[in-house]
């Protein structure tokens, strides 16, 4: 008997457009020491957000840590605005399409994200198509205690949703996440943010 499919989606640059450069630039305007290029390098090389997105820092601890590391001179409000600058607007066509999928597949969200970011994006889906109502369940890294590409995060999603008998198709824009998901046995599709919706539609057509 053919195993049923389940779909797992990353959020940023798969369903929700993001622009990290906007946050690096916003932080540079608040920094007494570092440029946007330097902040980008430090953030990536030192994985400055990783502990926070793993739920190992509170909002206040993360803010204090980043203010110190990036030499920011700002109010809490300014910090939040800069950190959230990367979040752009949902595309209504993406929201409509994802909403239509739950008639055919169980669909799940698996995102490396933070408490601060989640408060913004969970409230800003396209008003006529609440994207997050479409998911069978939502899995956010800061609540799970780990981040992709840790294989344990995939194990946790499978166990929580009893998906052992499903063929899982995973859509993500990060090569490392795709590689670890494939090692775990998922059909993982590397997304180009500029063609995200078309890639998702084309791949799902072949499942039907």
- Summarised one tens digit per residue, pLDDT across range 4-13 is 999 999 999 9
Task: Tell whether pTM > 0.75.
Answer: yes
| Residue 131: per-residue pLDDT | 86
pLDDT tens digits along 58-99: 999 999 999 999 999 999 999 999 999 999 999 989 999 999
Architecture of the domain whose range is 5-18+89-205: 3-Layer(aba) Sandwich (3.40)
| Residue 128: per-residue pLDDT | 52
With a cut of 90, say whether residue 125 has pLDDT above it.
no
Query: Chain-centre distance of CA 187, in angstroms?
Result: 18
Encode burial over 20-39: b for 16+ CB neighbours within 10 A, e otherwise.
Answer: eebbbbbbbebbeebebeeb
Of residues 129 and 130, the one with the higher pLDDT is 130
Residues 6+ apart with CB under 8 A from 192: 173, 199
Confidence of residue 127 (pLDDT cuts 50, 70, 90): low
pLDDT tens digits along 191-202: 999 999 999 999
Cβ(76)–Cβ(33) under 8 Å? no
What are the angstrom distances between the C-alpha of 48 and each of 12, 73, 88, 177? 18, 18, 21, 18
| Residue 102: per-residue pLDDT | 87
With a cut of 80, say whether residue 1 has pLDDT above it.
no
Pick from 107, 106, 114, 60: which is nearest to 84 by CA? 114
The DSSP symbol for 166 reads S
Mean pLDDT, the chain, integer:
95
| Residue 2: per-residue pLDDT | 77
With a cut of 60, say whether residue 42 has pLDDT above it.
yes
């Amino acid at each position: 008997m053919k195993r049923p499919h389940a779909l797992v989606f990353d959020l940023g640059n798969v369903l929700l457009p993001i622009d990290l450069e906007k946050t690096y630039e916003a932080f540079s305007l608040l920094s007494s020491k570092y440029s946007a290029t330097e902040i980008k390098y430090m953030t990536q090389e030192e994985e400055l957000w990783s502990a926070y997105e793993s739920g190992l820092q509170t909002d206040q601890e993360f803010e204090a840590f980043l203010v110190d590391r990036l030499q920011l001179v700002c109010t809490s409000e300014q910090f939040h605005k800069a950190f959230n600058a990367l979040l752009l607007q949902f595309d209504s066509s993406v929201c409509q399409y994802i909403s239509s999928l739950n008639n055919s597949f169980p669909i799940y969200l698996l995102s490396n994200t933070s408490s601060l970011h989640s408060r913004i994006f969970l409230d800003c889906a396209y008003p006529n198509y609440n994207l997050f109502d479409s998911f069978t369940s939502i899995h956010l890294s800061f609540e799970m205690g780990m981040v992709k590409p840790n294989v344990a995060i995939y194990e946790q999603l499978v166990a929580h949703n009893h998906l052992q008998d499903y063929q899982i198709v995973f859509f993500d824009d990060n090569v490392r996440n795709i590689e670890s998901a494939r090692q775990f046995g998922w059909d993982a599709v590397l997304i180009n943010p500029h063609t995200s919706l078309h890639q998702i539609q084309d791949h799902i057509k072949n499942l039907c």
